[in-house]
Amino acid sequence: MPLLWLFVIVLALGALGFVLGRQRAIASAGGDARQLHSLPNYYGSNVAILTVVPALMVLAVWLILQPMVIQARVTSLIPEAAIEQIGSRSLVMSDVRRVAEGLDTAVAAGALSEAETRGLSTDETDVRARLGEVGVALGGAVTPEVLAAALRYRALDHTADTLRSGLVIVLAALGLAYGYLRTRQEFRARNSVERAILALLMLASTLAILTTVGIVFSMLFETFNFFELYPWREFFFGLEWRPSFEGGSDLGLIPLLWGTLYISIIALLVSVPIGLFAAIYMAEYAGKRFRAVAKPLIEVLAGIPTIVYGLFALITVGPLLRDYFAQPLGLGTSSSSVMTAGVVMGIMLIPFVSSLSDDIINAVPQSLRDGSYGLGATQSETVRQVILPAALPGIVGAILLAASRAIGETMIVVLGAGAAAALSLNPFEAMTTVTVKIVGQLTGDTNFESPEALVAFALGLTLFVITLGLNVLALYIVRKYREQYE
Amino acid sequence: MNDMRMTERGVDSKNIKMKARKVQVFYGTNHAIKDVDVDIEDKTVTAFIGPSGCGKSTFLRCLNRMNDTIDICRVEGEITLDGEDIYDRKVDPVQLRAKVGMVFQKPNPFPKSIYDNVAYGPRIHGLARGKAELDEIVEKSLRRAAIWNEVKDRLDAPGTGLSGGQQQRLCIARAIATGPEVLLMDEPCSALDPIATAQVEELIDELRERFSVVIVTHSMQQAARVSQKTAFFHLGNLVEYGETSKIFTNPDDPRTESYITGRIG
Ligand SMILES: Nc1ncnc2c1ncn2[C@@H]1O[C@H](COP(=O)(O)OP(=O)(O)O)[C@@H](O)[C@H]1O
Ligand SMILES: [Mg+2]
């Protein structure tokens, strides 16, 4: 039975449970809903939850486990020789799966009958050609081993599907019956629905946390692999970045880290003063009408994809800086430079800094402004001596958040600063950052057993740790700031 | 005791510090203050009483032009300080507010040290020539606000860490430090407990020796305890203004009497 149908059936049972539960509850109170412990809908929801949730949970687990189990049982059918021939076990298995799915498609399209399919053999039929007719393209001719495995795979899959549908429907029915029988006048349906909702919310937050943990672990794993192939000292303290896929590369972090920090610092030097002053103007001086226009405009700026900023760097800012600054000053002839990327990234961050700071400044209580004006302070004295000090921790938090965005930025760097790692102080020289190199090491033909590819994970983890540190610090500061005003 | 104070009152209450004539205030189209005439005497505590929303705060804020910070607020009529029109173009509202200080309903210490809170006004207006002089101003103001003994050992601690009553006295010290001639207080005790209230009331009575105090209060007992003159506002009108003893014992206007006896609130 297709998955969608199974799903619909379970939901339909749930709806039925709702109606039945509700009716039974009302009937048990002699038709007077006021005699019930909870509102009638709670009884209905309770039955519906008992019907749907366990069934769907089992379905989800089953869906995850089924391919694993079947795969484990099918692999044994393929001899080692065939695996060596094709390359790796996973490649063979993906062939098997494709053939099995192809056969399913063929049956569904009517090109093959179910009986024909079972009796297929590579001696009599060109399986690849037959499947090609129904639009399933295969990479190479189908070997007898693969076909046998595919047939087995199909058979197991069909049995499992049937079992699955049966189990899920039975579970839903049992849940319905259980819920229905429990529905009585004094049953506390409201509380049990409350618990179900709590469980749902907890499940969602657990999933969010688990995915984060999963991401970190997968990176950790690959990073370990990397450090087995490449000494960690040379990675963390190496001053050269010269990967070569023939081996013997230098994979030093320092030049990339330097590029990242240099560009981020320039970006912050551009974005923080402009963003902050804009925020002060918006929050303290601008009239209502100006703010109503300007604030959304600035926020639109925040929605521009970074690749567009990258183009701006490449086409406009880069040549401009080269022609008017770098060349006259004799500092270089490259239009890709730290300065280009930094300035454009700064422009990208202005709305980010200004809208965060604007919120923070607005959160400074009006009573402080009144207090300052009441003592005869001017507006700018009030801003400098009362509002900014009061908002400072929050603003620092905003700046740290901006910094962690700058560190993670990739597109603007590729287009603005280039992709050549360098360790130099000259802001008009091309340089590159950690993120760009992560992309660089993983695109194209990569062999995931070489340190040149695996280094990307070590870089990623380093970046993750740095931005995580910045974010934690920022959140800590922002929280302290909130506490100050209750 | 109350009677003794009332006899004293006649002696030193001749000098008019601030004078308001035909004052109108509008918030947009809302006519919040209508035709108010008041004389604020020097070295006197004047209380503004009246039901909520009758315009007490609004009128108080006219006296130091705090209403200028509200976009939609418009003030008409004439208000003078020592005979000089404070709404005149020549007058800088910022200078005016140094002379007419203000204490707010909710204590609002700046997120700075206790010392810096009090030194804020003197620093802005350049009142002290050196560190020693500034120290002196801070100490004197804290003493006058009757909080010196409680904070003298922790002048570097943040002002926001004090208790509510201490914070309010710190705000009073902060206002005194700029050397105002008039001190406006908008319900200064409404966020305080009874003990802190008593301390602030005592303080107000002492402050009267140096300048005139205008206090908005919703507590009639408080008005009776601390003030010599009382103004009763109702729906934006000044209904009655006179000696506190007279307002509370023998008011001319029936509305005043109703309010005082608790029939309008
Ligand atoms: N900032 C403001 N903007 C608009 N209307 C205001 C503002 N402040 C006060 N008002 C209006 O002015 C009137 C008087 O208010 P207020 O002076 O605060 O009264 P009180 O202090 O006597 O309780 C009220 O009707 C109030 O709604
Ligand atoms: Mg008020």
Residue pair A304/A393 in contact by the 8 Å Cβ criterion? no
Does residue A378 contact residue A326 with C-beta atoms inside 8 Å? no
Of the candidates B252, B80, B83, the one whose C-alpha atom is nearest the C-alpha of residue B242 is B252
Given this model, what pLDDT does residue B216 score?
Answer: 96
| Residue to mutate (ligand 1; options B23, B56, B58; most atoms within 8 A of CB) | B58
Q: What is the DSSP string of chain B?
A: -HHHHHHHHHHH---EEEEEEEEEEEETTEEEEEEEEEEEETT-EEEEE-STTSSHHHHHHHTTTGGGGSTTEEEEEEEEETTEETTSTTS-HHHHHHHEEEE-SS----SSBHHHHHHHHHHHTT--SSHHHHHHHHHHHHHHTT-HHHHTT-TTSBGGGS-HHHHHHHHHHHHHHT--SEEEEESTTTTS-HHHHHHHHHHHHHHTTTSEEEEE-S-HHHHHHH-SEEEEEETTEEEEEEEHHHHHHS-SSHHHHHHHTTS--
Do residues A275 and A257 touch, judged by C-beta distance below 8 A? no
Question: CA nearest A368 in B: which residue?
Answer: B108
Per the listing, tokens 């009128």 go with: B59
Question: Measured from the CB, is residue B29 less than 6 Å from ligand 1?
Answer: no
pLDDT tens track for B210-255: 889 999 998 888 999 999 999 999 999 999 999 999 999 999 999 9
- How confident is the model at residue A482, as a pLDDT? 64
pLDDT above 70 for B6: no
| Helical axes A40-75 vs A89-109, angle rounded to 10° | 120
Write down the pLDDT at residue B264.
64
3-state secondary structure B51-93: CCCCCHHHHHHHCCCHHHHCCCEEEEEEEEECCEECCCCCCCH
A389–B108: do the CB atoms touch at under 8 Å?
no
E strand residue ranges, A199-305: 241-242, 250-251
Section B20-31 average pLDDT: 95
CB contacts, 8 Å: B99 with chain A = 376
B58 Cβ inside 6 Å of ligand 1: yes
pLDDT of residue A486: 45
Please report which ligand is nearest the Cα atom of B53.
1
List Cα–Cα distances, B91 to B80, B94, B95, B179, B230, in angstroms. 11, 9, 8, 18, 28
Q: Is B54 in the pocket of ligand 1 (CB under 6 A)?
A: yes
pLDDT band at B10 (very low <50, low <70, confident <90, very high): very low
Closest approach atom of ligand 1 to CA B70: 1
Q: Could you tell me if the CB of B53 is within 6 A of ligand 1?
A: yes
Strands B212-216 and B45-49: parallel
> Residue A180's pLDDT is what?
93
B32 lines ligand 1 (CB under 6 A): yes
Q: Relative to the alpha carbon of A366, which ligand is closest? A: 1
The size of the A-B interface in CB pairs under 8 A is: 71
d(CA A418, CA A250) in angstroms, rounded, equals 19
Residue A377 to residue B120, Cβ atoms within 8 A: yes
Hey, what amino acid is at A84?
E
Q: Which regions in chain A score pLDDT beneath 70?
A: 1, 86-87, 139, 445-446, 481-486
**Cβ partners under 8 Å of residue B194, min gap 6:** none
Q: Which residues of A touch B98 (CB under 8 A)?
A: 375-376
Rounded to whole angstroms, the Cα distance separating A102 from A120 reads 13
The span from the CA of B213 to the CA of B227, in Å, is 9
Is residue B115 predicted with pLDDT exceeding 50?
A: yes
Q: Are B56 and B81 in contact (CB under 8 A)?
A: no
Q: Is the dihedral of CA A123, A124, A127, A129 positive or negative?
A: positive
A375 to chain B: which residues are within 8 Å by CB?
97-98, 101-102, 120-121, 124, 174-175, 178
Q: What is the mean pLDDT of residues B9-37?
A: 84
- pLDDT exceeds cutoff 80 at B12: no
Ligand number with the minimum distance to the CA of B190: 2
The rounded mean pLDDT for chain B is 90
Check CB contact under 8 Å for A375 and B174. Answer: yes
CB atoms A374 and B66 under 8 Å: yes
What pLDDT is stored for residue A137 in this prediction? 76
Ranges of each domain in chain A = 3-187, 241-485
- Cβ–Cβ contacts within 10 Å for residue A39, how many? 16
pLDDT digits (tens, 9 = 90+) for B120-137: 999 999 998 999 999 999
Question: What is the CATH class of A241-485?
Answer: mainly alpha
Q: How much is the ipTM here? A: 0.88
Comparing alpha-carbon positions, the chain B residue that sits nearest to A384 is B124
Residue spans of the domains in chain B: they are: 2-108+182-260
pLDDT at position B2: 47
Q: Is the CB of B55 under 6 A from ligand 1?
A: yes
Q: Using CB atoms, which residue from B71, B111, B175 is nearest to A375?
A: B175
| CATH class label, B2-108+182-260 | alpha beta
pLDDT at A281: 94
Amino acid A87: pLDDT: 67
Asked if A382 and A372 count as a contact pair (C-beta separation under 8 A), the reply is yes
